[in-house]
Amino acid sequence: MREPYLPRGQGRSYGDAGLPALHHVALNSSHLDHFISFDSTTGILEAEAGVTLERILNFCIPKGFFLPVTPGTKFVSLGGALASNVHGKNHHKTGSIEHFVIEMEVATPAGTFVCSLDQNRELFLSTMGGYGLTGAITRAKLKLKPVQNAQVECLRVKAANIDDMFGLFAKHDPDYEYSVAWLDTLAKGRKLGRGILMLGNHAQVNAGERKIEATEVSHKFSVSIPFAMPDFLLNEKFLTLFNRAFYLVSGNGKRTRENFESYFYPLDRIGNWNLLYGKSGFFQYQCVIPDPKSEEGILACLNFLSENRLGAFLSVLKRCGDDEVLLLFCKKGYTLALDIPFRGPETLKSLDRLDELVLKFGGRVYLTKDARLKPDMFRAMYPEFKEWMETVRRFNPNRLSSSRMAERLELWNES
Amino acid sequence: MERIVIFGATSGIARAVAEEFLAQGDELLLVGRSADALKILARDLEVLGGGKPVPWFIWDVLDFEGHAFRFRELISTHDVKGLFMAAGVLIPQKDCDADPAKTTLTFNSNLTGPAAVMGLFAEYFKEKRSGFISCLSSVAGDRGRGSITAYAASKAGLSAYLEGLANRIQHDGVLIQTVKPGYVRTAMTEGLQSMLIASPAKVARDIVKAIRCRREMIYTPFYWRYIMGVIRLIPESIFRKLGL
Ligand SMILES: Cc1cc2nc3c(=O)[nH]c(=O)nc-3n(C[C@H](O)[C@H](O)[C@H](O)COP(=O)(O)OP(=O)(O)OC[C@H]3O[C@@H](n4cnc5c(N)ncnc54)[C@H](O)[C@@H]3O)c2cc1C
Ligand SMILES: NC(=O)c1ccc[n+]([C@@H]2O[C@H](COP(=O)([O-])OP(=O)(O)OC[C@H]3O[C@@H](n4cnc5c(N)ncnc54)[C@H](OP(=O)(O)O)[C@@H]3O)[C@@H](O)[C@H]2O)c1
């Protein structure tokens, strides 16, 4: 029998979804990084699962194509992106990456299968967003989307508080393919939830311009954080000032034309950005709150964050659309993603209370970013998990592939 | 159409070099010892090159009896304008110490084998009065090294062989280039942590540019020239204490 394992991509998931369970080894996919075929009329790219999104972009942009859905970093593998069923700034329009996967091959402990919405459908729907628990995705066909240009037309608008922000989303979302808001989660009272909505569309070519402009896919980081920052940079005063400054200096109604890298992947330009959180590190917390209670729920979360002084640099709000996979995260509503500096056991307690609040509004937490959700809370947030686990068990009956997350959430227990 | 032979095409550095040649419009012929690996790589390069087929050819650098035959077969089926040689192994010194066959394997894979193959191509290019050979030696060959005794000696021999080839045929319009990379992130250096480690893509850009500029010897990344300049100056008595 082969050694127990967990498929591993580029290790960019924040929590323990990507850490092998006890006595399991990481199954490195980084050598599975070859393209298999590309059809320039349909935009369908077939590649091995270890190919990074960066490699795909380097290849497809000069040919006039872009990723149909992309997370906020291009340093993830295709397999990892499928295993988390990643969503991007266009979720309100297109849904998660599942909608663009024509088919994939999965090496499960029960054998290797090609699956799609038409063929081995259950395997497809439980492997997409299945965090490696059905086995290893070995290759996939992804439908890329045609673009005229490597640039993005952006519009930045300021919201004075959260109600204002909800209004801006409602007003602009229909006209923009991409939208995401940065929130100052440390602002209080009337200013609660103030922030900047960043909208974007792929740029069209103007008359006389060449169709695809030089992509300027950068070969190195612009800056790199050399060592873990001292913890005082994370104290509340500094963070409050930082957030206030960020809000104040941003122009309102500013239109710009940006290279795709600075629009989609700002963090990729800062090498080792995670060291900004010092030696004690941080938790990423991302939840979704579905309509019709989404606005009310987000407001409650913001109040909670502000009262408990939990927020930090990067708090992000965006609208979601609908997905189909068995264990889905995104639901039509709002999703809020937060970096929460770890300040000891109180941080964990506060996050447990935040879970309860999220659950009260029918929401759930994104597992690829989680490292601390409790088994009962997970079951309450994801009632459909049983159906998913049934398929997982069928293809992986002896837990040959398993993660720390699966152990922590007690997924292998019967109920 | 004239092709560039990439010998040891599955090497991390060679793959990046192949991509760089492709981007510049060159046609390739991949050479290696594993058909499965070559097939996968050929398809990848075919996709990158916009669908242009990339042929491949099986040739083991340790097949001493077969070299002359493989060479004739290759030359009779393809037009060749250059050879990039990347075959090589890095076997931990303690394994060589425990098993003399490993020492032999190191020398045969890094020196004797590549020298035999390059010798054949050198004569062929000399006859044609055009062509190039670019070969991956290593900074490790610049000095006798206690930690990687066999590897460093094989690379020292390889560098000397290339220098000799260059001296012999440089007047015939043929470029013989010695490439001395520092640490490069590939399967060979898996697990190695170093501030100085470079990406294969960076090294590949340097190499292809140096071939264009017809340079006979390069260090890549460039700063290794200075590092090795200093290291060569360290007196033996002190060098020994450094345990390099
Ligand atoms: C800066 C940053 C921004 C991000 N932004 C977003 C975002 O906007 N939207 C979003 O959805 N996510 C986002 N993420 C999360 C990230 O996209 C996911 O965690 C992704 O799964 C990471 O891919 P990876 O290749 O690094 O996989 P890993 O972290 O190595 O693994 C992640 C999971 O995928 C599984 N897996 C990996 N490869 C395979 C395979 N070949 N077959 C089967 N299972 C596999 C692993 O077992 C694990 O469960 C972001 C992460 C970072 C660091
Ligand atoms: N990485 C570094 O830091 C570094 C530094 C200086 C110099 N170099 C040199 O650069 C070259 C390439 O190294 P790399 O880092 O790219 O390592 P690599 O990925 O391990 O590549 C080694 C290559 O040599 C091939 N090879 C080994 N024995 C062979 C044989 N008998 N017949 C045919 N091919 C054979 C391998 O083929 P298979 O795939 O079939 O095994 C593989 O393609 C080597 O000569 C190495 O010494 C590397």
User: What is the CATH topology of the domain spanning A151-377?
Assistant: Vanillyl-alcohol Oxidase; Chain A, domain 3 (3.40.462)
Cα–Cα distances in angstroms (integers) from residue A117 to residues A103, A390, B32, B227, in the given order:
8, 18, 39, 57
**Class of the domain covering A5-147+382-413:** alpha beta
Domain boundaries, given as residue ranges, for chain B: 2-242
A154 vs A187, residue with greater confidence: A154
What Cα–Cα distance (Å) separates residue B61 from each residue in A338, A354, B134, B218? 55, 62, 16, 24
DSSP A226: -
> Distance from A15 to chain B by nearest Cα, in Å?
23
**Interface confidence: ipTM more than 0.95:** no
pLDDT tens sequence for chain B (244 residues) = 899 999 999 999 999 999 999 999 999 999 999 999 999 999 999 999 999 999 999 999 999 999 999 999 999 999 999 999 999 999 999 999 999 999 999 999 999 999 999 999 999 999 999 999 999 999 999 998 888 999 999 999 999 999 999 999 877 789 999 999 999 999 999 888 888 999 999 999 999 999 999 999 999 999 999 999 999 889 888 888 887 7
Percent of chain A with pLDDT over 70: 95
CATH 3.40.462.10 domain residues, chain A: 151-377
Query: DSSP readout, B111-133?
Result: IIHHHHHHHHHHHHHHHHT--EE
Q: Which CATH architecture has domain B2-242?
A: 3-Layer(aba) Sandwich (3.40)
Residue-wise pLDDT for A242-286, tens only, equals 888 888 888 888 899 999 998 999 888 888 888 877 888 889 999
Interval A143-157: pLDDT, tens = 999 999 889 999 999
- Is any ligand 1 atom within 6 A of the Cβ of residue A80? yes
Which part of chain A has CATH 3.30.465.10?
Answer: 5-147+382-413
State the pLDDT at residue A215: 47
Query: Token match 């709150």: residue?
Result: A289
- Please tell me if residue A59 touches chain B, with a CB cutoff of 8 Å: yes
Test site for ligand 1: of A78, A86, A131, A282, most ligand atoms within 8 A of the Cβ: A86
Mean pLDDT for A71-97 is 97
B13 CB under 6 A from ligand 2? yes
B47, B50, B202 member nearest A37 (Cβ): B47
For residue B190, list chain A residues with Cβ-Cβ distance below 8 A: none
For B208-235, the pLDDT digits (tens) are 999 999 999 999 999 999 999 999 889 8
Q: Is the pTM of this model over 0.80?
A: yes
Looking at residue A240, its pLDDT comes to 83
- pLDDT of A214 reads 45
SS3 state of residue A219 = coil
Portion of chain B with pLDDT greater than 70, in percent: 100
DSSP for A319-381?
Answer: EE----SSS----SEEEEEEEEE--SHHHHHHHHHHHHHHHHTT-EE-GGG-S---HHHHHHH
Q: Which of B131, B9, B129, B124 is closest to B68 using CA atoms?
A: B124
A308-331: average pLDDT:
90
Checking if the pLDDT of A211 tops 70, the result is no
